[in-house]
Structure 1
Amino acid sequence: MGTTVSARFWQLIALGLAWVGYSTTYLLRKPISVIKNDLKTELGFSMTQLGWLDTAFLLPYAASQVLLGSLGDRVSPRKMLGGSMLIASASMVSFGYWKSHSVFLLLLFINGAAQSLAWPGAVKGVVSWFNGDDKNTALGVLGTSAFVGGFLGTAVAVQLQKDGWETCFVIPSVVVASVGLVIIVLFKSSQDIQNAADGVQSREKEVTSHTSFSELWRIRSLPEVTVCCFFVKFIRYCMLMWLPMYLYTELRYSKIESGMLSTVFDIGGILGSVLLGFISDRLFQGNVLCCTSVALFLSSAAFLLFLFTSSQGMMYNGLGMLLAGITNCGSDTMITGPIAAQIGEQDGRNVQSATTGIVNGIGTAGAILQGPLVGILAGFIGWSGVFYAMVLLTLVSGFFMVRVQSAQNAVTFQEL
C-alpha cells in the first residue's frame, strides 16, 4: 500500500508541475499579441514589422523542436523543461526597455528556441510516470495547460498593460523563472525516484546520442503522424486567428460579441483534451489511435455543422464551435502527446522526446503557414471555401490516422 500511495503521490506531483510549468510559458508568449497596437503607435512599427515579431518567435520554436527535441532523451525532463523556462525568462525580462525592432527580433528568437524544449520535456516527464491505463488521460490533462495558459497569458498582459506596455514582461519573467527553478528541483522522473530509493546516482540514458533526424524520420508511422499534425494545427490556428474576424464580418456580430463568442472554440479545446484522453483509456482500451481517428472524422462533421447553421443564431454557432473545438483541439493534444510518445516507444526505443519534438515542431509549421494561405483563400473564394478546405484537410488527417492504425495492427498481427 505504501509503495502504491507513494507512486500515486509522485504521479500527481509530476503531472501538476508539468501542467503549471507549461501553462506559465504562455506568460511570455501572449503579451506580444496584446501590445502590438502600442508598438505601432508609440514606436511607429509598421504592420509588416509587427508580423515579423510573430515569425521571430514561431520559426525557431518550430525548428528547434525538430532539431533539439531529442535532447530530452539524453537529459532529464526536469532539466529540459526547467532550463527552457529559465532561458526564456532571461531573454524576455528586459524586453520592454528596448526600443529597437532588431533587438526585439533577437530576444523573441531566443524565447522561441528556448520554449521549444518545454513541451517535449513535459511530455517525457509525465510519460515516465503514466505507462498504464491512465497515460492518455494524464496527457490529455497536460494538454489543457496550453489553452488555460493562453487565457492567463492574455489576461495578465492586459492587466499589466495598464501601467505601460513596458511592464508586460518583467513580472511574467520572474514568475516563469521561479516556476522553472521549482521544476528543476522537484520535477522527478520515475527513474530519478527509483535511483534515489536504490541509493544510486541518477544517470541519463544516451540512447539517442547518435540518432540523426533521418534515422528518426524512418521510425514506423512517424511521417504520417507528423503530416496529420501539420493539417490539424493548420486548422486549429485558422480558427484561433481568424474566427473573431469571420464572426464580425460575415455573421454580423459586434466586435465584443465576436471576441467573446470565439472563446467557445478554446473552451471546447480544454474539454476535448481531457475527454479524448479519458475516452481512449476507458472506451477504446487505451487505443488512442482509433479514438483520435474517430475524433477527426467527427471534427469534419462539426465544421460542416458550423458552416450550414451559421445563419441560425448564436446558440447554433456556439454549439458548432464547441464541437469543433472538442474534436480538433482534442485531436491536436492526442497527436502531440500520447501518439507522438507512443511512436517513440516502438520496438523498445526510448525516444519519446525526439518524436514529440518532430511531430509538434513540423506541425507548428502549419500554424505559421495558415495566416497567408487563409488570407489568400478567403479573398479568392470566400469564407465558405475556407471552411470546405478545413473539412477536406480534416478528412485527410483522419485517413492518415487510419493508415497509422492499420500499420500498427499489421505489426501486432505479425508478432502473434
Structure 2
Amino acid sequence: MASLKYYQVTVFVCGWISYASTYCLRKPLGVIKADLHKFMNLTTTQLGWLDTALLFPYAVMQMILGPVGDKYGARKTFGVCIILSALSMIFFGYFSNFVIWFILLFLNGTAQSQCWPNVTKGVLGWFSDSVRNSMFGMFGTCAFAGGIIGTMIAVYIQANYGWRQVYFYPAAGMIFLGVFTLLFFKQPDEVGIQVPGREAADSTSKSASATDSEKPKMWDLWKLPMIPEVSIAVFCLKVVRYCMYMWLPMYLLQALNYSTTMSGVFSTVFEIGGVTGSALIGFALDRYYKGQTLRGIAFFVLLSTVGLVLFMLTSSWGVFFNSVFMFMAGFFNAGPDILLCGTVPAELVEKHNKNAATATIGLVNGFGSIGTCIEGPIIGAITAYTGWAGMFYLMIGLSACGTLATYKAESIFRRINKPTTDFIAGV
C-alpha cells in the first residue's frame, strides 16, 4: 500500500507539473500579439493564422497519432513529446519571418498533441473508478494553473527582456521536465502494481486484448454512444476557452484601455476561475450528481454561458465587475471541459478495451481542439469587421451549443438506462 501511495503521488505530481509546463509554450503567443502587431506590422488576420499554426496540428494529430501512446506507453510518449515541443520553440525569437514562425508553431502543436491523451491515461491508471471525477478534477487544474503561470512568465520576460525572449527560457526549462517525465511518470504495469478498484477493468482489458488483436479505428470509436455529442460539447467549450486565452489580453488593451502589463496579468482571472472550477466541480459531481455526471456538466456549462453574457453586458462597469464575471465564466467552463475530454471518454471504452483509452481521449479532445485551431482567423476576421462585440456573441452562442450537446448526451444515457460499460459495442 505504501508503494502504491508513493507512485500515485509521484505520477500525479510529475504529470501535473509537466503538463502545466506545456502552457508556457502556448500562452506567450497571446501575450506578444500586440507586439507582433505593433513592431512586426502583422495584421489581425495574420495573428489569427499564427493561432491556427499552433492549434491545427494539436487538434488533428491527436486523432491521427492517437494509437501512438497505446503502442509505446504513456510515459515514453509524453516525455518525448515535451522535449520535442521545447526544441521547436527555443529559437522562436531569433527569427523575424511570418512563415518561419508559422512552421515552428506547427511543430510545437504537433509535439503537444500527444501530451494530453497520454498524461490523462497515465494518471487515470493509478486511481480507482470511484474517485475519478474528484481526482481528475484536481489534476485538471494543471491546464489552467499552467495557463496562469505561462502568462505570468511571458509577461515578466516581455517587460524585462523583450518579446523575443518569451519562448527561450520556458523552452530550456521544459527540456529538463521532459527528462524528468521519462524517469518518473511510470505506469502500474511497468512497476508490477495492481491498483485496487481496477482489477475488473484490467482483467476485462486483458481478455479483450487476447481476443481482439486489432486496435479500433477512429470511425469505430466515433460510432460509440455519446461520443459525437461529447466531442461537439468539447469543441464548443474549447473555442470559448482559447478565444479568452489568445484574445483577451488584446481586448482588455484596446477595448477597455488597460495597460499592456495589466491586460496580460488581468486576463488570468479567467484562468484563476478555471483552476478553482476544475478543482471543485469534480467533487460536486461525485457528491451531488452520482450516476448523472453529464446532467451536472450540462448545468455548469449553462452557468458559464450566463457568465459570458454578464461579462459582455457589464464590461464598461470597471475592474470589479470584469473580475467577477470573467471568474464565473472560467469557473464553469474549465471543470466541464476537463472532464468531458478526460474521464468521460475514458469511461466509455476503458473497461471494455484498455487499448482504446488513449485513442478515444485523443479523438474527443482532438475533435474539440479543431475549434481552437479555427478560432484564430475567425476571431481575427470578426473583430476586423464587427469589432470586439462580435467575438463575445460568438462565444456566447458556442457556449449555449455546448450546453445543448451535453444535455443531448445525457438524454442518450438516460434512454439507454444502463451502466456505460454494458452498452459499449464496436470497439
Secondary structure of 1:74's counterpart equals: helix
Residue by residue over 1:233-269, the C-alpha shift from the partner in whole angstroms, topping out at 9 and shown as x without a partner, is: 1222233334445555655666665554433212111
| Deviation, structure 1 residue 313 | 4.1
**Aligned partners of 2:79, 2:187: CA distance in 1, in Å?**
13
Task: Go from structure 1 to structure 2 and tell me whether the alpha carbon gap of 1:308 and 1:110 turns closer, same or farther (over 3 Å shift).
Answer: closer
Instruction: Among all aligned residue pairs of Structure 1 and Structure 2, give the percentage whose two residues are the same amino acid.
Output: 37
After TM superposition, list the pairs within 5 Å mapping 1:10-409 onto structure 2.
10-35=7-32, 44=40, 46-47=42-43, 50-98=47-95, 100-161=97-158, 162-163=160-161, 167-194=165-192, 210-247=215-252, 258-285=263-290, 287-310=292-315, 312-345=317-350, 347-348=352-353, 350-377=355-382, 386-409=391-414
| Deviation, structure 1 residue 395 | 2.7
Return the TM-score normalized by structure 2: 0.83
| Deviation, structure 1 residue 276 | 1.0
| Deviation, structure 1 residue 388 | 4.6
| Deviation, structure 1 residue 54 | 3.1
Task: Go from structure 1 to structure 2 and tell me whether the alpha carbon gap of 1:298 and 1:46 turns closer, same or farther (over 3 Å shift).
Answer: closer
| Deviation, structure 1 residue 329 | 2.0
Secondary structure of 2:130's counterpart equals: coil
Secondary structure of 1:134's counterpart equals: helix
Task: Go from structure 1 to structure 2 and tell me whether the alpha carbon gap of 1:261 and 1:25 turns closer, same or farther (over 3 Å shift).
Answer: closer
Q: Which range is displaced more, 304-313 or 327-336? A: 304-313
Q: Given that residues 48 and 378 in structure 2 are in contact (C-alpha distance below 8 angstroms), is that contact kept between their aligned partners in structure 1?
A: no
Q: Which runs of 5+ in 2 are unaligned?
A: 196-205
Secondary structure of 2:140's counterpart equals: helix
| Deviation, structure 1 residue 210 | 3.6
**Aligned partners of 1:382, 1:164: CA distance in 2, in Å?**
29
Q: Which range is displaced more, 46-55 or 333-342? A: 46-55
Secondary structure of 2:129's counterpart equals: coil
Supply the AA of the counterpart residue of 1:354.
A
Task: Go from structure 1 to structure 2 and tell me whether the alpha carbon gap of 1:293 and 1:346 turns closer, same or farther (over 3 Å shift).
Answer: farther
The residue number in structure 2 matching 1:200 is none
Q: Given that residues 304 and 333 in structure 2 are in contact (C-alpha distance below 8 angstroms), is that contact kept between their aligned partners in structure 1?
A: yes
| Deviation, structure 1 residue 119 | 0.6
Q: Which runs of 5+ in 1 are unaligned?
A: 198-202
Residue by residue over 1:213-242, the C-alpha shift from the partner in whole angstroms, topping out at 9 and shown as x without a partner, is: 222211221111111111111222233334
Q: Given that residues 50 and 376 in structure 2 are in contact (C-alpha distance below 8 angstroms), is that contact kept between their aligned partners in structure 1?
A: no
Return the TM-score normalized by structure 1: 0.85
Task: Go from structure 1 to structure 2 and tell me whether the alpha carbon gap of 1:385 and 1:36 turns closer, same or farther (over 3 Å shift).
Answer: closer
Supply the AA of the counterpart residue of 1:112.
G
Residue by residue over 1:21-57, the C-alpha shift from the partner in whole angstroms, topping out at 9 and shown as x without a partner, is: 1111223333444455666777x56436555433322
Residue by residue over 1:346-379, the C-alpha shift from the partner in whole angstroms, topping out at 9 and shown as x without a partner, is: 6445422112112222212212323343455556
Count residues with an aligned counterpart: 406
**Aligned partners of 1:302, 1:13: CA distance in 2, in Å?**
36
**Aligned partners of 2:358, 2:404: CA distance in 1, in Å?**
25
| Deviation, structure 1 residue 391 | 3.4
Supply the AA of the counterpart residue of 2:178.
G
| Deviation, structure 1 residue 175 | 1.8
Task: Go from structure 1 to structure 2 and tell me whether the alpha carbon gap of 1:254 and 1:94 turns closer, same or farther (over 3 Å shift).
Answer: closer
Q: Given that residues 89 and 174 in structure 1 are in contact (C-alpha distance below 8 angstroms), is that contact kept between their aligned partners in structure 2?
A: yes
Q: Given that residues 344 and 354 in structure 1 are in contact (C-alpha distance below 8 angstroms), is that contact kept between their aligned partners in structure 2?
A: no
